[in-house]
C-alpha cells in the first residue's frame, strides 16, 4: 500500500494523465454504446395455435393436439414440445436448439401440419415464431360524437386496419371493442 502512495506522490503528472485518459475513454464508451429499451432477443420457440369451435378439451386433445404433436416431435432440432388443450382451442409450443435456423424450422412445421387431416370444424393452424419483440408498441382509440359504434367499426375494420397492416415493419394489427352482431 505504501508503494502505491509513494508512486502517486512522486508521479503526480502520470496520475493526472491516467485520470484524464480513463475519463475520456469512459465518456467515449458511454456515448457510443448501443442502448435499446427492448433489445432484440430471438428465442428458438415456435407456437402452433388451432381453433376448433364447439369442441371439448378432450376432443381438442384427441383430434387436434395429439396429431400435431406426433408430426412435430421428431423434426430436426426439436428439444421440447409443450401443449395445452382448451375448450375450442389448442396451443403447442415447440422449443428448438439455439443454433437452429428458425425460418427453416417454421417451414418444416408448416409442411408437417399441412399433412394432417383435421376435423371439419377445425380452423387451419396458425404457426408463429415466439418473439419478445412482438410486444405491441402502439394502441389507438377511435371515437366519434356523431358516429354510431356500428359505423365506427366499419371504418376501422374497412379502412384503418388494412392501411396499418400495409405499412412496412408492421407485423400485425388487431381491433378490439368493436360492435359484433349476434343472433
**CATH number, position 129:** 3.30.70.1430
Question: Do 146 and 86 lie in a common domain?
Answer: no
With cell 360492435, the residue in question is: 179
Examine the fold and report which residue of 96, 118, 133 is the final residue of a domain before the chain moves on: 133
Question: Do 94 and 69 lie in a common domain?
Answer: yes
Question: Do 127 and 102 lie in a common domain?
Answer: yes
Question: Which pLDDT value is given to residue 36?
Answer: 67
Question: Do 59 and 111 lie in a common domain?
Answer: yes
Question: Which pLDDT value is given to residue 132?
Answer: 67
The DSSP code for 16 is H
Phi/psi class of residue 25: alpha, beta or left (left: φ > 0; alpha: ψ in -120 to 50)? alpha
Question: Do 126 and 145 lie in a common domain?
Answer: no
In terms of residue numbers, what domain contains 20?
A: 2-32
Question: Do 13 and 66 lie in a common domain?
Answer: no
Find the mean pLDDT for residues 151-172.
84
Total count of residues recorded for the chain: 183
49 φ, ψ (degrees, to nearest 5) = -115, 130
Is residue 40 pLDDT above 70, yes or no?
no
The x, y and z cell numbers of residue 135, run together, are: 410486444
Question: Which pLDDT value is given to residue 134?
Answer: 65
39 φ, ψ (degrees, to nearest 5) = -65, 155
Question: Do 105 and 50 lie in a common domain?
Answer: yes
pLDDT digits (tens, 9 = 90+) for 81-115: 999 999 999 999 999 988 888 889 899 999 999 88
94 φ, ψ (degrees, to nearest 5) = -115, 120
Number of domain units in the chain:
3
Question: Which pLDDT value is given to residue 2?
Answer: 86
Determine, yes or no, domain membership for 39. Answer: no
Mean pLDDT (the chain, rounded): 85
The DSSP element (H or E) to which 95 belongs, if any, is strand 89-96
Amino acid at each position: 500500500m505504501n508503494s502505491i502512495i509513494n508512486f502517486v506522490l512522486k508521479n503526480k503528472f502520470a496520475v493526472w494523465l491516467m485520470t484524464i485518459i480513463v475519463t475520456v475513454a469512459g465518456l467515449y464508451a458511454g456515448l457510443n454504446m448501443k442502448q435499446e429499451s427492448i433489445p432484440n432477443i430471438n428465442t428458438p420457440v415456435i407456437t402452433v395455435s388451432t381453433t376448433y369451435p364447439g369442441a371439448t378439451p378432450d376432443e381438442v386433445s384427441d383430434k387436434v393436439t395429439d396429431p400435431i404433436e406426433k408430426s412435430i416431435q421428431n423434426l430436426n432440432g426439436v428439444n421440447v414440445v409443450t401443449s395445452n388443450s382448451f375448450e375450442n382451442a389448442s396451443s403447442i409450443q415447440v422449443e428448438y436448439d439455439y443454433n437452429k435456423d428458425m425460418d427453416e424450422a417454421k417451414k418444416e412445421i408448416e409442411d408437417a401440419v399441412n399433412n394432417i387431416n383435421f376435423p371439419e370444424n377445425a380452423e387451419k393452424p396458425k404457426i408463429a415464431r415466439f418473439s419478445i419483440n412482438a410486444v405491441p408498441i402502439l394502441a389507438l382509440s377511435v371515437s366519434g360524437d356523431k358516429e354510431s359504434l356500428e359505423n365506427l367499426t366499419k371504418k376501422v375494420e374497412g379502412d384503418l386496419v388494412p392501411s396499418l397492416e400495409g405499412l412496412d415493419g408492421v407485423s400485425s394489427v388487431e381491433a378490439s371493442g368493436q360492435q359484433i352482431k349476434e343472433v
